[in-house]
Structure 1
């Protein structure tokens, strides 16, 4: 089944904060954890149910990691007009990277909609 998602005017995403957090677990091949704080804003006139997301993380070495899944941090937010859903999570990277992506949902009328996640950068600290 091929679904076409459209942008819903008023449904938007902000990246509120990105910070390096060396206390988070990270595998040896991607030793740099970055916590990001994101908000999904519904300033449209329609109720939106968010059911999935897709992240694209690209590093300066040319490697790309695509992360797709159901929900948002284990939840399926229902955003009434005027509501915002905020959360934080993290990416682990091996080199300087950029991240972008989309959240996917449906209106209460069943129309598939999406909201782009603005691109943000992650710069690991220089190691001595």
Structure 2
């Protein structure tokens, strides 16, 4: 699984794995727009179900600009993940530079009423260089 999901982080029994792919067909290099798809797998290794409530992203570009994205759930869902199960989703990120990075955290609630934070590993967004 390491090869398909090269970035992972475990917090309080919940593992977030990430793979990222540059999408040249969605990018417009002349228009200064590069686009990546990222695949997230969230694995519940706890003894009880957890529910993802919110997401918090920090997205940086090659110029050092930082963009924050906060919202409810992921792709319109607030999934409940049973013990030993996982939840996958795919989303995308455009940048106006050929490289950058993403990181962040999810807020979950489990059997206890208190919400807890699960880190999303830092991962690079890198477009392949084009020889001219």
Q: How do residues 88-127 of structure 1 correspond to structure 2 at under 5 angstroms?
A: 88-95=90-97, 96-127=99-130
| Partner residue in 2 for 1:42 | 44
| Partner residue in 2 for 1:70 | 72
Q: 1:84 aligns with which of 74, 86, 107?
A: 86
- Off by >4 Å, runs of 4+ in structure 1: none
Residue 23 of structure 1 aligns to a residue whose secondary structure is: helix
How far 1:46 sits from its partner (Å)?
2.2
State the alpha-carbon separation in 2 of the partners of residues 29 and 108 from structure 1.
48
| Partner residue in 2 for 1:31 | 33
State the alpha-carbon separation in 2 of the partners of residues 110 and 46 from structure 1.
13
* TM-score normalized by the length of structure 2: 0.81
| Partner residue in 2 for 1:22 | 24
State the alpha-carbon separation in 1 of the partners of residues 25 and 111 from structure 2.
40
1:15-52 Cα deviation digits (max 9, x unpaired): 1x2111133377x8761010001111110112111011
How far 1:67 sits from its partner (Å)?
0.7
Cα RMSD (Å) of the superposition?
2.1
Cα pair 1:8 1:44 within 8 Å, conserved: no
Identify unmatched segments of 5+ residues in structure 2: 1-9
